[in-house]
A = this chain, B = another copy of it.
Amino acid sequence: MKTPQEYIASLAAMKHNVWMNGQRVERPWEHPQIVPGINIVSLTYEWAQMPEYADMMTATSHLTGKTINRFTHIHQSADDLQKKVEMTRAYCRATGCIQRCMGIDSLNALSIITHHSDEMFETQYYPRLLEYIKYFQENDLVGNAAMTDVKGDRSLRPHQQADPDLYLHVVEKNDKGIVVRGAKAHNTMAPYAHELIVLPTREMKEEDADYAVAFAIPADAPGITMVCRGAAPSVKKETVAPVSSRYASVESLTIFDNVFVPWERVFMCGEWQLAGYLAEVFATYHRHSYCGCKPAITDILLGAAALVAEYNGIERASHVRGKLTELMTTAEIVHACGLAASLKGQRMTSGTYLPDLVYANVGKYYAGTNLHHEIELLQDLAGGLVVTLPSEEDINSPEIGAQLKKYLAGPASVAVDDRIRCFRLIEDMTASKFAGLLMVAGVHGGGSPEAERLAIYRSYDLETRKELAKKAAGIGM
């Protein structure tokens, strides 16, 4: 397993094609908007080295028997799934979003679908993938999942778009490999990942066969351009809350302009019948991950809510306890779904364990449709200062700073600086660009609420319930 230092060194060794704010970023591993993302991923290398976390953060490769970072592991049991969701919550309590989940969620999904494909179509994807996974594990790599196409007119299928490139597709095949063109959106972490793992974004029909393509590619391969934006505050300040200034993600719109992919890295190419299944299985893994990260965000919001209530002197009020209890309930509903999805995980034909689809979807759906209310509760408990607190410069001003601190005092037992820091945290978490990202990622990360509802409806065993009702009604007896 790599150390954080080795990870950063490996990034520095990459060619990079990263743009931000109209300029090519020459040294992305040092850019102030990208460093917070690298800090996050570094943590996954750091904690994996710590003996007290060994059981949770590492695993034994089923391919090589070696100890590997759990973020490179193919889940072999329900217990593996449980550890993944608990590891995710642990990391995200420190960082808000650990990001590295998406790579391993992709590889697990591919391990199921390639095996299935080989059975159905006599393709050779599964052994090829295993080779790739070994390489991935041994080099302790960071993989980005590049899934969501830009999609153009969403009422049209891929091949129906005015511009055929609005979904990424194969434009050429030869005996060395394939050439692809298109763009993938919302690629969190892309500028500091080693690999892009490209998956189809939806089910396909036969006419869309060229769009049914999955592969892995080094993130600095020729033809790839990343246009990025960061979520960290643009100016570094003393009292800015660490959670957003030290740990924040970067989003990329990634353009694939005639990118060549050798066959040994191609895991789907034309098997349109399995494109939707692959998308769904990846989504299931990723929604399972959200059952770890979203409760972690609630953990922080809840802690901030309890803290600000104390700093405002209202912690004993009945409505305050009620609101804290709502936050607790939300966190644990989501996490319970993650645990249930693990416990009810199923062994697929390749041996990989897949979380229960219904529970994984229910958990992410509940998280995504309750986050805004959680933010409302925190803002409710905090009060207007969240958005009216004077700037750091004013508070530090030799002329007006003392007056400001006089008037920003809470209960006598609370240091005014702590109170100010607490409000800065809540501003960052609920009333900033960072908060905007948090909210939108809560709704759309891993798929939209409608996608989750559809997945639940489609996979639920409704017929059994209709039979129960018939029996209860005395129909057909």
Contact = CB atoms under 8 A, between A and B. Distances in A.
A469 B309 CA distance: 13
A22 B410 contact: no
A64 interface: no
Interface stretch (A117-125, A126-134, A148-156): A148-156
Interface in A415-460: 418, 421-422, 424-425, 427, 429-433, 435-437, 439-441, 443-444, 448-450, 453, 456-457, 460
Interface string A377-420: 00110011111111111101101100110111111100000100
Interface residues of A, number: 147
Interface stretch (A97-105, A212-220, A273-281, A358-366): A358-366
A299 B465 contact: yes
A336 B362 contact: yes
Nearest to A373: B372
Contacts of A376: 369, 371-372, 439, 443
Interface string A170-184: 000000000000010
A29 to B, nearest CB: 20
Interface string A317-355: 011011011001100110111011101100000000000
A409 B166 contact: yes
A440 B227 contact: no
A277 to B, nearest CB: 20
Contacts of A430: 436, 439-440
A474 interface: yes
A407 B306 contact: no
Contact of A403 (B234, B255, B399): B255
A156 to B, nearest CB: 7
The binding surface of chain A is classed by DSSP as helix
Contact of A385 (B185, B307, B312, B475): B185
A94 interface: yes
Contact of A363 (B22, B163, B306, B336): B336
Interface stretch (A37-45, A52-60, A136-144, A237-245): A237-245
A265 interface: no
B467 A379 contact: no
Interface string A95-119: 0000000000000000000000000
Given A319-B318, A336-B340, A406-B163, A435 B425 contact: no
B153 A412 contact: yes
A391 B229 contact: yes
A422 B19 contact: no
Contact of A325 (B313, B322, B453, B466): B453
Contacts of A470: 303, 307
A371 B377 CA distance: 12
A203 interface: no
A186 B384 contact: yes
Counting every copy of the chain, the complex holds 4
Nearest to A359: B336
Nearest to A314: B154
Interface in A222-249: 225, 227-229, 231, 234, 239, 241-243
A210 interface: no
B471 A94 contact: yes
Interface in A1-59: 19-24
B251 A473 contact: no
Among A23, A329, A450, A466, the one with the most B-chain Cβ atoms within 10 Å of its Cβ is A329
A457 B328 contact: yes
Interface of A: 19-24, 82, 93-94, 148, 150, 152-156, 162-163, 165-166, 183, 185-186, 225, 227-229, 231, 234, 239, 241-243, 251-253, 255, 257, 299-300, 302-304, 306-307, 312-314, 316, 318-319, 321-322, 324-325, 328-329, 332-333, 335-337, 339-341, 343-344, 358-359, 362-363, 365-366, 369, 371-373, 375-376, 379-380, 383-394, 396-397, 399-400, 403-404, 406-412, 418, 421-422, 424-425, 427, 429-433, 435-437, 439-441, 443-444, 448-450, 453, 456-457, 460, 462, 464-477
20 contacts: A20-B394, A24-B399, A155-B411, A166-B407, A186-B388, A229-B389, A242-B477, A255-B400, A322-B322, A328-B362, A329-B453, A332-B337, A336-B336, A343-B343, A372-B373, A380-B448, A384-B444, A386-B436, A418-B476, A430-B436
Q: Which 3 A-B pairs have the closest CB atoms?
A: A431-B436, A22-B393, A303-B469
